[in-house]
């Protein structure tokens, strides 16, 4: 891709500049009209959200950005994709669900992307792109780049928590992001003036950044504001908020009958159509041979032939629907635990792993709440900032969406973020960034783009901790295809699994156990870096198999010792990774233990990991008797007495194992 120089948009803009902007805006307009026509013919399925009336903003912005500067948009993002340079043919093919589309038919109209054309993509979750844009900027910085990132979003998106968090973080880190709000006065079917009593730029200014409002139908006014913003970002001056006032000339989506909107409002929007105004302006420059008519014919031809060609393209092969969910190396085997070496605490083992990753990978970053100078509330990231500097290890505002979205964006743009979410319970306020965003990256791009981010967190019951700081929530993530989830049960695995997670190209969540941070065990710091995956048969038996993960493995091993004294020979399988689940090892171990399996989890039983393991083993016939042991379906109380009435322990494991082997 060539680097284009920013144009100097001014009142003296030449007619050539304006003609090129007109061409670009017209391509978007005619493309959108064609998409609508194809939708009406039922060639395009589902909803389409068109940007008719808003074309001037992407048309101008793309001329100001470098051709490599990343762009993010919303479901109304066809214009941004075209302006970014995504081929029209690929876009039609995508919207028509063809195998040759930008996303091979996986994204559709509202979620298409093309990393090869720096179009990070559309986003169908309102406001979700803003935290990711910050991350894209952090990724560029981590590898020494000077990308300016532009993220476009609607007026309604400014009310989203994720947007607020992103603006806060962008200011705190002075990130090179241009926040482009396309204010079309409507958030789906609600007028922005009915819910926000101040100007959006005024509100943005309160975050501590420069913010302006421009007429988004005027290429010169819009261009001048964007030029300033891009130059500021590129020169280290931080983010800018540019509110572009644009008309929404059609409904929110193709089938919107706009019964909630007055005829007068529609008329006013139609009167602001930017294209005839620019055409008129070009004519007023009195160019004797204005090429506008010829351009119109060219663009009409381009759109028509791209649409026709895409219609002839094949649909995807249905057999590929399960491809590219994640990268799963075959038959990963968990190494044995070391017998000799240094005994270190679980938390310190993780710290040592991160130190090695930061030392060996200049693109690795650590960020989260209180992780820098304080070293994390549990001390796991202690000294990292001192050792690796403030650019690579830094604190964030208390803004979980912005931490996870930042990690995601950074990982998509060359960084290797290792972020901390202080408590698993807090992940719930930001799950969108994992489930709707990170988990889709590989699948949507058929492996062309990946999100190698690591999220560390901790969970579980400890005396006195309340119901919002004690939940065992691994099943929520276990349910999500595309996210790998590890739960180490000892210091060696805490070390090795952290390193494996950083080396992995998929999003990985490591769920540590707060109660184990000071537990000691032998760690081999020279162990080869493992691949993600692989369960370990920590103890061999013959009468029954206890399957567990994370903190409960310790209790299972103690229980197995007690059972041995009673003449019951129990094996213990430590899953280590619940996603990907080592099904091969699970089946093999169940068969080797007379098909009798006890699955132990700290979490409550309904919808839990143990339920799936039970189903898997019954379905495959590898087990004939399975029992699940977990907390009852209740909330978690703070009092230690009440907690221990709920959570499995050595005694209840022994009791259930006895019953199972009777
Ligand atoms: C998190 C979330 N909430 C609600 C929706 C449903 N929804 C889709 S678009 C939209 C309106 C957004 O308005 P605005 O940000 O102004 O963008 P516009 O559609 O006007 O371009 C809503 C509520 C969604 N997709 N995501
Ligand atoms: Mg809007």
**CA 213 from centroid of its chain's CA atoms:** 30
Residue 492 Cα distances to 194, 383, 530, 593, angstroms: 57, 21, 12, 26
Per-residue pLDDT tens digits for 237-280: 999 999 999 999 999 999 999 999 999 999 999 999 999 999 99
- What number does the ligand 1 atom closest to the CA of 158 have? 15
**C-beta of 489 in contact with ligand 1 (< 6 A):** no
d(CA 18, CA 63): 11
Residue-level pLDDT at 177:
98
Counts for the chain of helices (H) and strands (E), in that order: 24, 22
Residue-level pLDDT at 5:
38
12 confidence band (pLDDT: 50, 70, 90): low
Residue-level pLDDT at 580:
97
113: left (phi over 0), alpha (psi -120 to 50) or beta: beta
Average pLDDT over residues 472-482: 98
* pLDDT at residue 313 tops 60: yes
Residue-level pLDDT at 289:
66
**Strand order from edge to edge, sheet including 416-420:** 393-395, 364-368, 416-420, 454-459, 508-513, 484-486, 577-579
pTM of structure? 0.97
* pLDDT at residue 146 tops 60: yes
Residue 269 Cα distances to 142, 193, 196, 613, angstroms: 43, 15, 20, 57
Residue whose token pair is 């806060």: 168
**Minimal-distance CA residue to ligand 1 atom 13:** 187
* pLDDT at residue 4 tops 80: no
Residue 88, C-beta contacts closer than 8 angstroms, at least 6 positions apart: 27, 31, 82, 302, 303, 306
2 confidence band (pLDDT: 50, 70, 90): very low
Residue 322, C-beta contacts closer than 8 angstroms, at least 6 positions apart: none
CB 513 within 8 A of CB 458: yes
* pLDDT at residue 320 tops 80: yes
The residue among 13, 104, 102, 122 whose CA lies nearest residue 58 is 122
Ligand whose nearest atom lies closest to the CA of 126: 1
d(CA 376, CA 620): 44
CB 622 within 8 A of CB 650: no
* pLDDT at residue 159 tops 80: yes
6 confidence band (pLDDT: 50, 70, 90): very low
Average pLDDT over residues 487-507: 98
Task: Give per-residue burial for 184-220: e unless 16+ CB within 10 Å, then b.
Answer: bbbbeeebbeeebeeebbebbeebebbbbbbbbbbbb
Q: To the nearest whole number, what is the mean pLDDT of the chain?
A: 96
Strands 520-523 vs 342-345: parallel, antiparallel or unpaired:
antiparallel
Q: What's the CA-to-centroid distance between 452 and ligand 2, angstroms?
A: 33
**C-beta of 187 in contact with ligand 1 (< 6 A):** yes
Residue-level pLDDT at 284:
87
Task: Tell me how many degrees the CA angle 182-183-185 measures, rounded to the nearest 5.
Answer: 150
Q: What's the CA-to-centroid distance between 165 and ligand 2, angstroms?
A: 20
Q: What's the CA-to-centroid distance between 88 and ligand 1, angstroms?
A: 25
Per-residue pLDDT tens digits for 431-463: 999 999 999 999 999 999 999 999 999 999 999
Residue-level pLDDT at 14:
73
**Minimal-distance CA residue to ligand 1 atom 21:** 154
For residue 48, the SS3 value is coil
Residues marked active site are found at 469
**Minimal-distance CA residue to ligand 1 atom 6:** 126
Per-residue pLDDT tens digits for 286-305: 666 678 999 999 999 999 99
Q: Which tokens is 505 given?
A: 């190209």
Average pLDDT over residues 386-409: 98
Q: What's the CA-to-centroid distance between 24 and ligand 2, angstroms?
A: 22
CB 450 within 8 A of CB 541: no
Sort 303 into a burial class: Cβ within 10 Å, 0-12 / 13-18 / 19+. buried
**Minimal-distance CA residue to ligand 1 atom 5:** 126
């Amino acid at each position: 891709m060539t680097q284009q120089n920013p144009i100097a948009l001014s009142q003296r803009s030449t007619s050539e500049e304006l003609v090129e902007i007109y061409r670009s805006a017209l391509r978007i307009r005619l493309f959108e009209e064609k998409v609508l026509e194809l939708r009406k013919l039922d060639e395009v399925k589902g909803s389409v959200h068109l940007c008719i009336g808003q074309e001037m903003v992407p048309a101008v912005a793309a001329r100001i950005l470098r051709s490599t500067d990343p762009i993010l948009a919303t479901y109304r993002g066809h214009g941004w994709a075209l302006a970014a340079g995504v081929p029209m043919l690929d876009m039609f093919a995508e919207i028509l669900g063809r195998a040759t589309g930008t996303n091979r038919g996986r994204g559709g109209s509202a979620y298409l992307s093309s990393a090869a054309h720096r179009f990070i993509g559309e986003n169908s979750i309102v406001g979700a792109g803003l935290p990711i844009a910050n991350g894209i900027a952090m990724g560029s910085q981590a590898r020494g780049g000077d990308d300016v990132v532009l993220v476009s979003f609607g007026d309604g998106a400014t009310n989203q928590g994720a947007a607020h968090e992103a603006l806060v973080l962008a200011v705190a880190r002075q990130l090179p992001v241009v926040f482009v709000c396309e204010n079309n006065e409507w958030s789906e079917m609600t007028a922005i003036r009915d819910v926000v009593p101040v100007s959006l730029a005024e509100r943005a200014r309160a975050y501590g950044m420069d913010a302006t409002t421009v007429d988004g139908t005027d290429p010169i006014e819009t261009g001048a504001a964007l030029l300033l913003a891009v130059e500021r970002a590129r020169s280290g001056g931080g983010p800018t908020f540019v509110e572009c006032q644009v008309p929404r000339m059609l409904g929110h989506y193709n089938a919107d009958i706009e019964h909630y909107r007055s005829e007068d409002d529609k008329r006013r929007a139609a009167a602001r159509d930017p294209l005839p105004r620019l055409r008129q302006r070009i004519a007023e420059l009195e160019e004797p041979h204005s090429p506008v008519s010829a351009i119109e014919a060219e663009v009409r031809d381009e759109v028509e032939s791209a649409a026709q060609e895409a219609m002839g393209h094949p649909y995807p092969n249905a057999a590929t629907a399960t491809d590219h969910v994640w990268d799963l190396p075959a038959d990963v085997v968990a190494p044995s635990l070391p017998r000799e070496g240094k005994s270190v605490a679980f938390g310190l083992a993780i710290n040592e792993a991160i130190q090695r990753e930061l030392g060996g990978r200049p693109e690795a970053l650590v960020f989260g709440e209180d992780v820098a100078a304080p070293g994390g509330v549990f001390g796991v990231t202690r000294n990292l900032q001192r050792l690796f500097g403030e650019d690579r290890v830094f604190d964030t505002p208390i803004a979980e969406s912005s931490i996870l979205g930042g990690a995601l964006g950074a990982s998509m743009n060359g960084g290797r973020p290792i972020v901390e979410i202080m408590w698993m319970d807090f992940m719930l306020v930001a799950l969108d960034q994992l489930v709707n965003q990170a988990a889709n990256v590989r699948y949507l791009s058929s492996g062309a783009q990946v999100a190698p981010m690591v999220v560390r967190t901790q969970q579980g019951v400890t005396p006195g901790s309340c119901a919002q700081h004690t939940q065992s929530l691994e099943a929520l993530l276990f349910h999500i295809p595309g996210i790998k989830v590890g739960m180490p049960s000892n210091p060696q695995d805490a070390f090795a699994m952290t390193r494996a997670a950083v080396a992995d190209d998929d999003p990985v969540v490591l769920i540590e156990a707060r109660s184990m941070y000071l537990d000691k065990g032998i760690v081999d710091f020279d162990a080869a870096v493992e691949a993600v995956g692989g369960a370990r048969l920590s103890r061999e038996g013959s009468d029954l198999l206890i399957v567990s993960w994370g903190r409960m493995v310790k209790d299972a091993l103690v229980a197995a010792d007690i059972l041995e004294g009673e003449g019951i020979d129990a094996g213990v399988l430590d899953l280590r990774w619940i996603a990907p689940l080592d099904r091969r090892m699970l089946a093999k171990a169940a068969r080797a233990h007379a098909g009798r399996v006890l699955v132990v989890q700290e979490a409550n039983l309904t919808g839990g990991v143990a339920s799936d393991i039970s189903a898997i083993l019954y379905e495959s016939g590898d087990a004939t008797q399975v029992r699940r042991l977990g907390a009852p379906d209740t909330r978690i109380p703070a009092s230690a007495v009440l907690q221990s009435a709920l959570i499995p322990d050595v005694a209840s494991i022994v009791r259930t194992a006895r019953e199972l082997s009777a």
